[in-house]
């Protein structure tokens, strides 16, 4: 299991053990973390799983595909560390990953 820390817009933290292979979005939805809907179940089709990856983790979380970038461009309050959580696969190297949720998904 890999620990992922989800920080809601209001500061509440959820530390979740996520099965490696799941996406950061799945880890949230399957454990009822508020603020990540993941309508499309991970098809990169809806941008309802927008997160800010903690600066220390940006590199390890990898780079977004052009599809993800195109979706993100139209999400609200996008920052350089914005990602779609459904496109970040949880692996051992992400143990301790911290992601913050945007106000629009609050």
Partner 1 sequence: MLCKLSPTGAAGPSGKLLEQSEKSVSAPRNPVVVVGAGHAGGTVAALLRQYGLTEPITIVGEETIAPYQRPPLSKAWLKGEVDADDLMLKASDFYRENEIALKLGVRAVRIDRDAKRVHLNDGEEIAYDTLILATGSRARQLAIPGVALDGVQALRSIADAEQLKSKLGKGKRLAVVGGGYIGLEAAASARALGAEAVVVELQDRVLARVACEALSTFLQNYHRARGVIFELNASVAAFEGEAGRVTGVRLADGRLIDADIVLVGVGAIPNDDLARNAGIPCRDGVIVDGDARTSDPSIFAIGDVTQRPLAVYDRMHRLESVANVLEQAKQAACAIAGRPTPPHEVTWNWSDQYDLKLQMAGVAFDTDEILIRGDPAAAGFAVFHLRGGRVQAVEAINAPPEFMMGRQLIAAQRPIARERLSNPAVSMKDVGA
Binding residues (CB under 8 A) for partner 1: these are 22, 26, 29-32, 34, 37, 39-41, 43-47, 67, 70-71, 73-75
Cα distance between residue 83 and residue 98, in whole Å: 12
CB of 38 to partner 1, least distance (A): 9
Q: Are 99 and 54 in contact (CB under 8 A)?
A: yes
Of 56 and 70, nearer to partner 1 (C-beta) is 70
**What gap in Å lies between CA 88 and CA 63, rounded to an integer?**
9
CB of 51 to partner 1, least distance (A): 17
As measured in angstroms, the least distance from the Cβ of 55 to partner 1 is 26
d(CA 87, CA 89): 6
């Amino acid at each position: 299991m890999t620990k992922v820390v989800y920080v809601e817009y209001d500061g509440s933290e959820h530390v979740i053990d996520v099965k490696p292979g799941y996406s950061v979005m799945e880890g949230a939805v399957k454990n009822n973390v508020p603020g990540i809907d993941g309508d499309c179940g991970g098809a990169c089709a809806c941008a309802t799983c927008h997160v800010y990856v903690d600066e220390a983790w940006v590199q390890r979380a990898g780079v977004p595909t052009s599809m993800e970038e195109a979706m993100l461009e139209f999400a609200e309050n996008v920052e350089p560390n914005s990602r779609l959580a459904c496109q970040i696969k949880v692996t051992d190297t992400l143990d301790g990953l911290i992601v913050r949720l945007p106000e629009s998904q609050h």
